[in-house]
Amino acid sequence: MRRLPEYGLAMRGGLLLLGCLLWLSPLPASERLSLFVSIPPQAWLLEQLGGERFTVRTMLGPNANPHNYDPAARQLVALADAHAYFTIGIPFESMWQQRLAAINADMTFIHCGADTHEHDHHDHDAKAHSDPHIWTSPLEASAIAACMVRALTRIDPDGKEVYADNLTQLQQRLADLDQRIRALLADNNNSVMLVQHPAWDYFAANYDLEQLAIEQDGHEPNARHLVRVIERGRELDLKTVFTQSQYGQAAARLVADAIDARIVEADPMAYDYPASLIGLARSLAGDAE
């Protein structure tokens, strides 16, 4: 067999390495897709799926109230050049989607939320189905990621392999997160979590917990409701009230003082999705000690 000269082997190896680097390298900024999402956890999921191929902008910051948020002018300007907007079912979207579509008629709206897949992981009650915070369950977040990849593959067929590979890795990471939360809650004898805002139905359903909300149907509670929550908190000896920075905390502090409980912030809107769920699970596990 004829032997290749050493410089020929080196050149061939160099070309192969260059090809790999080109495939792995991020696209130039001018060639990347411009994608919008409503909330930080969506941005985290999208970026795990192939952030080198697109730019993600988030409409609501971590402290924004999804019930009454108004986009900033700079966000609306950026939206004019967006290729797609991923919705998830929060109130802001129903109030603003038509106006956002009018700004950019070429932008595709892609819904990856509670009504886009079958919930075959576990049975949710009707209350959970009415809660838009589907991403608070890692198993549901995995289904959201799959929905995102189906859409990304249609928008950007050249990235199909990247998206498929990243989805496999992300779904394994979410499965590991689910198991870690289960391990943290394994010795939790109290199945009730006392929360300010009812945003944790999917998390609660996933881990056999009950969410006891201080707010009344998502609104400020009346006196009778507060009395019932305080009585139940004392009866169950609940040690923690979980709050969110997006909402006023006067009622939560009143309940915490009445039952001698600590206040801990647990934010379903946080960008660092795994850390926010692990932090919540650790706080719940601490209540069992």
pLDDT at site 129: 54
Residue 274: pLDDT over 70? yes
Backbone angles phi, psi at 89, to 5 degrees: 110, 15
Residue 42: pLDDT over 70? yes
Residue 5: pLDDT over 60? no
pTM of the predicted model over 0.75: yes
pLDDT at site 289: 53
Please write the tens of the pLDDT for every residue from 95-127.
999 999 999 999 999 999 987 654 444 444 444
Between CA 206 and CA 227 the distance in angstroms is 28
**Of the given ranges (73-87, 196-210, 237-251), which has the lowest mean pLDDT?**
237-251
Between CA 116 and CA 32 the distance in angstroms is 26
Q: Which residue has the higher pLDDT, 216 or 194?
A: 194
pLDDT band at 51 (very low <50, low <70, confident <90, very high): confident
Q: Provide the mean pLDDT of the chain.
A: 86
Please write the tens of the pLDDT for every residue from 134-164.
999 999 999 999 999 999 999 999 999 999 9
Between CA 129 and CA 173 the distance in angstroms is 25
Residue 276: pLDDT over 90? yes
Residue 4: pLDDT over 60? no
Which residue in this structure is represented by tokens 């939320």? Answer: 113
Domains and CATH numbers, the chain: 28-181 (3.40.50.1980), 188-287 (3.40.50.1980)
Structure tokens given for 219: 């609104």
Please write the tens of the pLDDT for every residue from 59-70.
998 788 888 899
pLDDT band at 29 (very low <50, low <70, confident <90, very high): low
pLDDT at site 123: 47
| Number of residues assigned to the chain | 289
AA letter at 131: D
pLDDT band at 17 (very low <50, low <70, confident <90, very high): very low
pLDDT at site 152: 97
- Tally of CA atoms within 13 A in the half-sphere of 165 that contains its CB: 6
Please write the tens of the pLDDT for every residue from 160-214.
999 999 999 999 999 999 999 999 999 888 899 999 999 999 999 999 999 999 9
Question: 232 - beta bridge partners?
Answer: none
In DSSP notation, the chain reads -PPPPHHHHHHHHHHHHHHHHHHHSPPPGGGSEEEEESSHHHHHHHHHHHGGGEEEEESS-TT--TTT----HHHHHHHTT-SEEEE---HHHHHHHHHHHHH-TTPEEEE-STTSS---SS---HHHHT-S-GGGSHHHHHHHHHHHHHHHHHH-GGGHHHHHHHHHHHHHHHHHHHHHHHHHTTT----EEEESSS--HHHHHHTT-EEEESSBTTB---HHHHHHHHHHHHHHT--EEEE-TTS--HHHHHHHHHHT-EEEE--TT-S-HHHHHHHHHHHHHHHT-
